[in-house]
Structure 1
Amino acid sequence: MKTTFTLRKFFLPAFIAISSIGYSQYCTPDPLNCSVDDEIQNVTFAGINNNSGCGNDDGYSDFTATAAGNVVTGQTYTLTVTVGEGQGEVVAAYIDFNANNSFEESELIYVGATPGGTVSTTVLIPESAVTGATRMRVRNAFNGFEDPEETLYTDWGDGACIDVSIGFGETEDYTLNITAGTQCSGTPDIGAATASVTSVCGGTDFTVSAVVSGTAIGFSYQLQASTDGGTTWTNTGTANSTGTFTVSQSVATSYQVIATCVASNQTDTSASVAVAQNGIADCYCTPTATNPLNCEDGDIMTNVTFGALNNTTTCGENGYTNYSAAFDAVELTAGQTYPISVAVGPSGDGWLDESVGVWIDYNQDGSFDADEFTYVGTGLAETLTGNIVIPETALDGNTRMRVLVSATTAAAFNTTYACSPLTPTNNYGEIEDYVVNITNDLATGQFNNGLVGMYPNPAQDVVNFTVKNGVSLQSAEIYNITGQVVGKASFTSAAEGKMNISALSAGVYIVKLTTDQGSVSQRLVKK
């Protein structure tokens, strides 16, 4: 059984001093225990596709004689590593680019962190890399000290060699054959664009890639996006030399990449790839079997009362219950305040603090943002009460409400608890989801009855506003999904107006229009 420590090992600095001495050959990593789901299961990189497991008692496997990858300087490759479900895995790699038989901090590649599963990253082979055979080391470590994942392998010294966990993990070594790239000439021949996902939720990062095959180097790559099925293409972000781009989207989007040989100034455009947009209901984060909440020790909600909702509840599987289909939507009105009461359990281990919070997805983007959080209260074996203010900018219609209890003090409890346990060892609590129906009287009446109009929607460069005769348009404000004002315009007793939105990133925004008869809100999609 593994334990997560909050106190550091006091003997580590001395140990690091011994372990950091220079090596004439590659260091043998410290022994690790990979038999408790902290094993490396697969490494895929540049021709390597090695299925493995916890093969040795010391947690080290040398595959340099049996698994080799082939890379070219100046080119970019995807490194993918699958690890066991050890509930706190941090994966890194080292490549000895200068071929000095040592892994240096500058050669560290952070791959990713996961409770268990697959992580990946892109690796650019520097043009200065020494050609010939060299070594790549892949390491997985259980983050027992709960260090920041991206610095776990540097916080303790020589992360390529020492135990940076509490004795759990695995190390594997491979051979890489490095070939020098040659400068491009003429017209490039770029491959088809690929994406790391086929569909995605709004605000979730993913990668789009397309590169010129072969050993030539000296290319510049520009990503383009289209939200109208490929009719109109616009540059997204800045050009780079890797051909791999990290993006997010709020509507279904197609992507293509333009490759330019810098020396010849000739270009080629890749075949496009389409990424669909997931439905909002499929995008809300929830506790899972690999990262559950524990509500079996009294850290539970026994009743939630909000408007017409009065639900006596029990502990759900993985600490989560979705009541969205079990109850009618709670009727709410934008700009109004509503009381809520949540009864919390007694906590079986003597813990004295059960904190409750509520999130309502006001902008209907499939995630719970910081400005959608309401703190209800903290107590023990009692009913906690609070008030939820529905903002005037809330979108009209059904949306998700989340109620959460956590065995956490009032001072520590905040919006970061919205999805699941912050750490596998601090997972006492429960989540319940419901549906609310928000009516924005002004927005519904004025937009639906044609009193206020907005077009085009989606829009790319300019959005226009109109009002009926006898109504004066006074101002317009555009909010991003985090509630920040990203655009403003004022109008003087106007019957129409317009705003230039070309500088906004593609995504979903909320437009608040103010007239002499009140304010209205409506969703705007920026292409």
Structure 2
Amino acid sequence: MLALLPFAGFSQSAKSKVSVHPLSAKHSTAAALKTPTSASPAAYCMPALDCTDNDMITNVTFAGINNETTCSPAGYGDFTAITTTDPVLAGSSYPISVTVGTGWPYENVSVWIDYDMNDVFDASEFTYVGNLIDVASGLTLSGSIAIPAGTPNGSYAMRVRVAAVGSDPTDNTLACDITQGYGETEDYTVVVGVAAPTGCLTSPNGAYPSSAFTPACNGTAQSITTAGWAGEYSTVNVTSGTAYTFSVSNAAYFITIGDSTGTTVLASGTGSVTWTATMTGAVRFYVHTDVNCGSGTSATVHTRSVLCGTVPPPPVEPDYGCDQNYTGEPDLANNITKSLNYSVANDFFVPMESEQYIMNTITATMVPLAGGADMSSFDIKILSDSGTKTPGAVIHTITGVVPTTVTTLPDTFAGYATYAVTLDMGNYSLPVNAAADTRYWVSLQATSASSPASSIYWIGYKYVEGWVTASNYQSTDNGATYTQIIYASAPGQHYDSIWSIDAECALAAVNEAGSREVSYYPNPVRDYLTINSKKTIETVHVYNVAGQKMPVSSKIVNGKLDMSKLTPGVYIISTILEGGKNESFKVIKK
């Protein structure tokens, strides 16, 4: 063993043990209390030190780790199977103590934690614990390790190193050193994460209600029960990755979210608890009067509710043009509006810009069920709006309308074919309100050549209650009264049947001053655009949206402009009136 030297002969710049003293033949013979592996974890560097002359780690204590050892084989101990058990949280500091052997007056202790998980103990991940001076017996050095703020939850490799060198708080590059000679290295695992919550998993009053509750997750709080007691729980079905807010009407009551068996606390808090589900399945929503798990009787009655998801944004307001097609996305598994010789009504709009609105056709999507429904004819009614977004008085009726086309759709419902049925409206002209878009209602009632008539189901699409301004209405008394139809597959969901209305609008062209001289229809146009003017139209030019002039005659023939040879798209019609006045407007070519 090295002869004892005066402490005054050593300083911060003292040479390392290997430079002044050869390896001693005297080795430690104490048995190790823990048996490490002799190779470092995969991907990490393998250090090389000699701890046989008592330059070693005899204990590491940190966040629940308390590991006593002697000299590890080849000076390296892989204790990564030993993990921290006390909570280690990002942004906090935790004490560490390392007890060293008696091999050399200077035993320098350092720690690295691989925070970036790149399998390298970087200099930036270094913590200097300190240096001990004692030649008679080993001492324990205490310091602290600060876990950087923002460190994600997870498991991190921690390397603890003691070396027989003079103290140097900046020496952060020796995690993988193989030249130092005397010392020992040990690796552990640090688990960074939120402390496990505490809570109350007792339920002397049992479960209520008896069935599991599945929230709709539409951004609104939903009541599980309004008659809950303290000391009981409700079962709630959750989906992994979704955030849930569990609330109780008494803000002083204590909430615990437990697993489906009531053995593990997942979250807890007073009055309200927000928890992001880590699994899909059932959880228990416990309520107690306080954190001491107080229960109660009818005197503790309260409401339990849960909120998840976000309120859906309002749909984009339709562009109320001549063609109106509110199809949505049909869900053939659920969304059939049932009808048996019923009248089914939907709303549509006449745009305020119109000078004339002529209805050409109506197309409805439907399922005639087996048993004779042949869609032989339909009765059509046009109704005003009641003022409360419901069908009002009948203003026009067409009976016995035979479909002009019946198109088989690619999807089926419950094995039955689905169809798009088009009905001719006879160019019916609706009144126009120049001050506002006007809501009207169209009602269809199917008749059948079969006797008795059988069911026709109207295909619909789903929407979330609260945003749609109107929905499907049904009449069981031949249109005398109408009732809103709600077939919900989940709370807050309704269905609206699929309609398409093809019409022609005579829209007024407006010049810069706002006065109207020209009107035109139809828009969209297929072949000929009718243009009416209070003044003589001298010239007409047609431009595409890029400003290129189209090869169209500049003359109006019998009040019509021939656009049949133009490709479908959007065009600007520029009219030069008597006196040189110009009015332009936009049309869509089908």
TM normalised by structure 2 equals 0.26
Larger Rg: 2
Name whichever structure is richer in helix by fraction. 1
TM normalised by structure 1 equals 0.28
